[in-house]
């Protein structure tokens, strides 16, 4: 299996962000978490990628899904 670069942009306390991390953990996906509340650079990067400030946002090898729930992530990921 090829290595993927997965970045998850989150806001602490966000239930959809928690769902996304739980889903990725259950699938055994390695990912980098970027806190867009505490990290202004991460917030700016998320906005650049999505044009919005809503979380979660995930970037996988340059492909982006923004403002989603676990069901949408599963459909997008196509596991």
Residue 44 sits in a domain whose CATH number is 3.40.30.10
List C-alpha distances in Å: 21 to 18, 33, 39, 72.
Answer: 5, 9, 18, 13
User: Is residue 20 in a domain?
Assistant: yes
pLDDT at 79: 56
Residue 22 lies in a domain: yes
For residue 59, what are the β-bridge partners? Answer: 7, 64
**What is the pLDDT at residue 78?**
82
Residue 40 lies in a domain: yes
Structural domain total, the chain: 1
Identify the pLDDT of residue 4: 85
Quote helix, strand, coil % in the chain, to nearest 5: 40, 20, 40
- One pLDDT digit (tens) per residue for the chain, 79 residues: 457 899 999 999 999 999 999 999 999 999 999 999 999 999 999 999 999 999 999 999 999 999 999 999 999 998 5
Look at phi and psi of residue 67 and say left if phi exceeds 0, alpha if psi is from -120 to 50, else beta. left
pLDDT at 14: 96
Residue 1 lies inside a defined structural domain of this protein = no
| 79 located within any domain | no
Give the residue numbers spanning the domain of 12: 6-74
């Amino acid at each position: 299996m090829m290595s993927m670069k997965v970045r998850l942009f989150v806001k602490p306390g966000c239930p959809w962000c928690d769902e996304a991390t739980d889903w990725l953990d259950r699938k055994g996906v390695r990912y980098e978490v970027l806190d867009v509340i505490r990290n202004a650079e991460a917030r700016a990067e998320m906005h650049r990628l999505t044009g919005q400030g809503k979380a979660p946002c995930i970037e996988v090898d340059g492909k982006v899904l923004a403002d989603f729930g676990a069901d949408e992530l599963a459909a997008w990921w196509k596991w």
